[in-house]
Amino acid sequence: MNSINLIDSFQEFKDFKNIDRPTVISVLEEVFRSMLRKRFGTDENCDVIVNPDNGDLEIWRTRTVMEDGFSEDDDLEIELADAHKVDPDLEVGDDFIEQITLESFGRRAILAARQTLVSKILELEKDEIFKNYKDRIGEIVTGEVYQVWKKETLVLDDEGNELILPKTEQIPADYFKKGDTVRAVVLKVEMLNSNPRIIISRTAPAFLQRLFELEVPEIFDGLITIKNIVREPGERAKVAVESYDDRIDPVGACVGMKGSRIHGIVRELKNENIDVINFTNNISLYIQRALSPAKISSIKLDDETMRAAVYLKPDQVSLAIGRGGHNIKLAGKLTGYEIDVYRESSEEDEDVDLEEFSDEIDGWIIDEFRKVGLDTAKSVLALNVNELVKRTDLEEETIEEVLEILRAEFE
């Protein structure tokens, strides 16, 4: 067989993904033209014909027949005597066409071509993966855990492409082992040393948004819009939604009958507590909804400093702050306002405002307590040291000193 069968010669073709056939053929042609230039000095008078159906490739070289002794360029011309050795009917001025066989290049040239071909297609494949995933940032992907390391997990998608799930992008309760199926959102795609590095995330707000789109048809269809999402991954999330159709209750649609729609999302996020609230341009009402499940007595806004003073009954303060302070932190992020919580004290309640201790306790320490709704001595004393450390950014030693000062007031 005179044609060169590339499928047989280059078995690697069968293993390449994401590369369309015309691109592969184009690369093949260029590699062989490069071989022709090295061997004959030019490829201008050569035709490289690729059969895309069966992988056959033929190379034909054309030279002009010249009178004996008048050939000036053996790469483009051939003398009559040499041409007659192949075809006695040829005359001066005719085209001398010959087929170039793969064997004629020699083993070393063929191996070099094969190496060049493989590296070029690998390069194309990497570029294709990069472009493909660059367009999929923000989309959910599903993959299988291939390897688990201390700082990251290697996940393979359906086509065997490598996806990286860093520990920082995992929900704290996530635990993966080889073979597990993982869902995450494409967070970032970058080229590192000519290799595409695809970072996926389960903690990004976009992951929660895509899960809502999958579970709630009204969001997917655009009847309900997600205005904002804030998360403390694995702990709590707040989702503000708005409906463009007065007949649709956006919160009810997102939660579903008896929580049917939101349960699947909660399970995927390892029991993350999700509050779905109605978005409104009325900031006071928005903050009130954001602090759910706490019930607010009154609220004072300072739009210049973007601060909100929220007043609640004593039994509502802990609800507003939430476990570990997550509820109040997320409400602040969702609304864009710094929220200060104050408790309404009854006349019978003998308590002392923390400001009264400003001569003994530094102002910045009092501010730390106020940020999490602890503005009186008894509200601080009602919590143990561990809980106070969790809620504030204060050291244990500092908190113990404060508690000692406050206890002395009531002894």
On the CB side of 283, CA atoms within 13 Å amount to: 16
In the chain, domain spans: 6-122, 142-203, 280-344, 354-409
Is the pLDDT higher at 49 or at 328?
328
Give pLDDT, residue 246.
Answer: 84
CA–CA dist 17, 190 (Å, integer): 20
Q: How many whole angstroms separate alpha carbon 309 and alpha carbon 284?
A: 10
Q: Could you tell me which residue, 194 or 24, shows the higher pLDDT? A: 194
For residue 53, what pLDDT is reported? Answer: 64
Give the chain's end-to-end CA distance (angstroms, integer).
105
Q: 172: pLDDT confidence band, cut at 50, 70 and 90? A: very high
pLDDT at 304 over 80: yes
Helix-helix angle 314-321:326-335, to 10 degrees: 70
Query: What is the value of pTM for the model shown?
Result: 0.67
Higher pLDDT, 337 or 392: 337
**Spatial distance between the Cα atoms of 199 and 133, rounded to a whole number of angstroms:** 10
pLDDT tens sequence across 108-147: 877 887 788 778 878 888 888 899 999 999 999 999 999 9
Q: 118-132, 231-245, 340-354: which has the highest mean pLDDT? A: 231-245
Tell me which architecture the domain covering 142-203 has in CATH.
Answer: Beta Barrel (2.40)
| 12: nearest Cα among 57, 58, 55 | 55
State which amino acid sits at residue 203.
T
* Alpha-carbon separation of residue 254 from 59, 212, 264 (angstroms): 64, 7, 11
Kindly report the CATH number that applies to the domain delimited by 6-122: 3.30.1480
Q: Which CATH number fits domain 280-344: 3.30.420.40, 3.30.300.20, 3.40.50.80, 3.40.50.300?
A: 3.30.300.20
Amino acid at 171: I
CA dihedral 52, 58, 59, 62 (to 10 degrees): -110
Contact in structure between 248 and 223 (CB atoms under 8 Å) = yes
- With 80 as the cut, is the pLDDT of residue 383 above it? yes
Residue among 88, 82, 37, 83 nearest 59 (CA): 37
Answer for the pair 318, 293: CB distance below 8 angstroms, yes or no. no
